Amino acid sequence: MFRIGEFSKIAQTAVSQLRYYDRIGLFQPSHTDKFTSYRYYSADQLPDLNRILALKELGLTLDQIKRMVLDDVSAEEIRGMLSLRKAQVEQTLQEEVNRLRVIESRLKQVEAHGQMKQDDVILKSVPAQPFYSTRNLLPELFDGVSIMGELMQLVPKVVGQNKMSHLTAVIHGDAFQVEKADVEMGFLLNDAFDMPLLLPSGNEVKMRILPAEPQVISAVRIGPFENGFESYANLGRWVQENGFVINGPAREIFIDPPTPDSQETAVCEIQFPVKIGTPMLTS
Amino acid sequence: MFRIGEFSKIAQTAVSQLRYYDRIGLFQPSHTDKFTSYRYYSADQLPDLNRILALKELGLTLDQIKRMVLDDVSAEEIRGMLSLRKAQVEQTLQEEVNRLRVIESRLKQVEAHGQMKQDDVILKSVPAQPFYSTRNLLPELFDGVSIMGELMQLVPKVVGQNKMSHLTAVIHGDAFQVEKADVEMGFLLNDAFDMPLLLPSGNEVKMRILPAEPQVISAVRIGPFENGFESYANLGRWVQENGFVINGPAREIFIDPPTPDSQETAVCEIQFPVKIGTPMLTS
DNA sequence: GGTTGACTCTGAAGCTGGATCAGGGTTTAT
DNA sequence: ATAAACCCTGATCCAGCTTCAGAGTCAACC
């Protein structure tokens, strides 16, 4: 019989940990003195403890381990727990790989430019949402402004302020191209609204469901349209450096829409759907 | 200005998280109502929040992020934080890869045998420790028993019980071979003890430092020597299946040493130093 | 102007897997 | 006998939030 200190040395396990396992009923000393409450462990408990430590190293929770070693649970159930855990590990493995790539690209950047810039690009997901919009081939991007004006004037009247979310544009053509842009403009909605609307300019506004995107990268631009080019460039660089590829039309969400007298404080979120690209050869 | 709920939707961030960031002073609303304590966020705070989220995704702690975004910290310091974090990610990446291998081998085992056996193999590290021992070429492993008897009788008398740790054998030859074994037997000590000792059988017992091993695999055998073969087989399989290779002489540590009348309850820990092998082709 | 329902506030407690500490009792070696 | 080393319980702390209870606000509709 060993007292807790010696047993902890043999088993390479902290004393506090053994006491904790005792408390939660996961692994208890083979004998506890009734009067002094001293814990006494026997050598043949070592395999039991080692089994617990082995399962812990696989990343199972102590609750799961408790079920596996105390209740006797079927092989089928064990298989289930292990393959669930396997999936989790595969996922975090992927995440760590991404993380490492991003850290490396940031490090390169800091070493080259002596600064952290462009660090406002984040990866997120967006849900599907109704989109009340009109799509046009614009000779110049600038031509969209008049349509936006009409939308902001008329849509609230037919749809109602409270059902509307943000003014949004979806850029169907090449996002990095300015002439002959294929742009869809309108409002994201909180609820479906099926009635079409004809604008004075002749464009028809209709509802459709803008699909969910599991992975989009997002950057925020503040100020007038022209500032957008820098954000686009950042996003493009980020996609390249972090091994993604663009996977759908870009979206511009006008969180604080530009009005003639608030051009400088307008806020717009730019989103690109992406997916993981073929791995770079970073030899 | 947005209230916290709407801002949380725009930023894809939980309300509770925004409140928490406010509390710890990491990211605060641009305005808080003096009377109602309502938080109001402005659109142009989005880039700040996104920067925080981007850094968080790299796995930096909120404290580190706070320093990076609030205090303005030198490029050199940022580089330090990032490369520290890079090292951490590389480490956990390695760990996850190992974990995945072990889980896969356990899964295979469960599917093949319908049971979790052999799950008492764990990976750990052992520190350097003084070893008061004698090394012999034994015609048969069994010949070690008489030397062990002498050691157990005489060593306590010259060294003193309290300085002694466990009776231990180091198997220098091929551990899986029984004849002509090259075995070193003695006691692990808590302190150095330089005086040699001559056993009646003519073997000389001397102290040396048994080196630390950063990675050993360990299994525990209960019962007489013969049971050891099963443990050895398990360890051997484990090494193969989990992509390690043996990297030094095996050790047997007699935690509850066998005496003539307690053969059945003897407890012995078997350790093999290992290192990561060349990756298996698991196509 | 009252009521409903959606929203927000604060402060406390809970989660994992222990580590650390305070304040006291127990063993063991000298 | 006494000091050093060991052990006990129970409380508190860590990160990064989430959840809950109880109370106050806000916008809309009748």
Write down the pTM of the prediction. Answer: 0.83
Cα–Cα nearest to A29, from A9, A8, A51, A12: A8
pLDDT digits (tens, 9 = 90+) for A2-23: 999 999 999 999 999 999 999 9
CA A48 – CA A44 distance, rounded (Å)? 8
> What average pLDDT score do residues B129-147 get?
87
Q: Beta A129-140 vs A179-189: how paired, if at all? A: antiparallel
> Which of the given ranges, B140-144, B193-197, B242-246, has the highest pLDDT on average?
B193-197
What's the confidence (pLDDT) of residue B177?
66
Mean pLDDT (chain A, rounded): 88
Please judge whether B82 and A103 are an interchain contact, meaning their C-beta atoms are less than 8 angstroms apart. Answer: yes
To the nearest whole number, what is the mean pLDDT of chain B? 88
Answer yes or no: are the C-beta atoms of B231 and B220 closer than 8 Å.
Answer: yes
Q: What are phi and psi of A29, to 5 degrees?
A: -60, 150
How many alpha carbons fall within 13 Å on the CB side of residue A41?
A: 27
Burial of B195 (0-12, 13-18, 19+ CB in 10 A): exposed
What residues of B are in contact with residue A54 (Cβ under 8 Å)? 119-122
CB contact under 8 A, B116 and A78: yes
How far is residue A124's CA from residue A220's CA, in Å, rounded to a whole number? 13
Q: Average the pLDDT over B31-47 and give the result.
A: 95
User: What mean pLDDT comes out for the span A180-208?
Assistant: 91
Considering all nucleic acid strands, name the nucleotide whose C1' atom is nearest to the C-alpha of residue B5: C7
- Of all residues in chain B, the percent with pLDDT exceeding 70 is 94
Largest Cα–Cα separation, chain A: 92
Q: What letter does residue A246 receive in the DSSP assignment?
A: E
What pLDDT sits at residue A34?
Answer: 92
Mean pLDDT, residues B67-76 taken together: 87
Answer yes or no: do A116 and B59 touch at CB < 8 A: no
For residue B158, pLDDT beyond 80: yes
φ, ψ (nearest 5 deg) of residue B262: -130, 40
Q: How many CB pairs under 8 A join A and B?
A: 148
Residue A119 clears pLDDT 70, i.e. is over it: no
For A:190-249, CB contacts with B below 8 A are 218-220, 222
Considering only A26-35, B35-44, B272-281, which range has the smallest mean pLDDT? B272-281
Would you say residue A115 has pLDDT above 80? no
Search chain A and give the residue with CA nearest B120. A51
Query: How is chain B classified by DSSP, letter by letter?
Result: -EEHHHHHHHHT--HHHHHHHHHTTSS--SEE-TTT--EEE-GGGHHHHHHHHHHHHTT--HHHHHHHHTS---HHHHHHHHHHHHHHHHHHHHHHHHHHHHHHHHHHHHHHHSS--STT-EEEEE--EEEEEEEEEEEEGGGHHHHHHHHHHHHHHHH-GGGEEEEEEEE-S-TT--EEEEEEEEEEESS-----EE-TTSPEEEEEEEPPEEEEEEEEEESSGGGHHHHHHHHHHHHHHTTEEE-S-EEEEEEE---TT-TTT-EEEEEEEEEE-SPP---
pLDDT band at B283 (very low <50, low <70, confident <90, very high): very low
Q: Report the pLDDT averaged over residues B149-155.
A: 90
Q: What are phi and psi of B35, to 5 degrees?
A: -90, -45
User: What confidence score (pLDDT) does residue A177 get?
Assistant: 65
Which uninterrupted H or E stretch holds A179?
strand A179-189
Q: What 3-state class would DSSP assign to A1?
A: coil
Chain D nucleotides near the protein (CB, 7 A)? 6-9, 15-20, 24-26, 28
B262 CA to D24 C1' in angstroms comes to 74
* B271 Cα distance to chain centroid: 13
HEC-encoded secondary structure of B119-143: CCCEEEEECCEEEEEEEEEEEEHHH
> What pLDDT, on the 0 to 100 scale, is given for residue A231?
81
Position B200 pLDDT exceeds 60: yes
**Residue in chain B nearest A10 by alpha carbon:** B255
Comparing B9 with A173, the larger pLDDT belongs to B9
Q: What is the pLDDT of residues A126-178, one digit of tens each?
A: 989 999 999 998 887 777 888 888 998 889 888 888 888 999 999 997 766 66
Q: Provide mean pLDDT across the span B53-81.
A: 90
Question: Which one of A178-182, A261-265, B104-108 scores highest in mean pLDDT?
Answer: B104-108
Determine what percent of chain A is predicted with pLDDT higher than 90.
Answer: 50
The pLDDT of residue B209 is 94
pLDDT of residue A283: 42
Check: CB of residue B89 under 8 Å from CB of residue B59. yes
Burial B21-37 (b: 16+ CB within 10 A, else e): bbeeebbbbeeeeeeee
Chain segment A236-280, per-residue pLDDT in tens: 888 887 788 999 999 999 998 887 777 788 899 999 999 987 655
Instruction: Say how far A235 CA is from C21 C1', in Å.
Output: 51
- How many residues can be counted in chain A? 283
Q: Measuring CA to CA, which residue among B227, B223, B214 is closest to residue B271?
A: B214
B 24-63, residues with C-beta < 7 Å of strand C: 36-39
Is residue B261 predicted with pLDDT exceeding 90? no
